Amino acid sequence: MGQIGIWQIGIVAFYAALLVIPFWRIFKRSGWPPALSLLMAVPLVNVVLLWIFAFSKWKPKSD
């Protein structure tokens, strides 16, 4: 007990990728730095970031 197995690391990596990849695209399309999506894998920080993202002004889309 107390050791971290390779399957546990894989589960954490899968969970992180499951969150980061879609948010990378969302942040990029909305004009925010896509690297902020890496923070979505951090507990509590992700909730705060979503609230800031939801209630901030979005940059107008320039076509």
pLDDT at 57: 83
Q: Is the pLDDT of residue 18 over 60?
A: yes
Q: What is the C-alpha to C-alpha distance for residues 35 and 23, in angstroms, rounded to an integer? A: 9
| 21-61 residue pLDDT tens | 999 999 998 888 999 999 988 889 999 999 999 998 877 66
Q: What is the C-alpha to C-alpha distance for residues 7 and 9, in angstroms, rounded to an integer? A: 5
pLDDT at 23: 92
Q: Which two tokens stand for residue 14?
A: 């899968």
Model pTM greater than 0.85? no
Ranges of each domain in the chain:
6-55
pLDDT at 1: 61
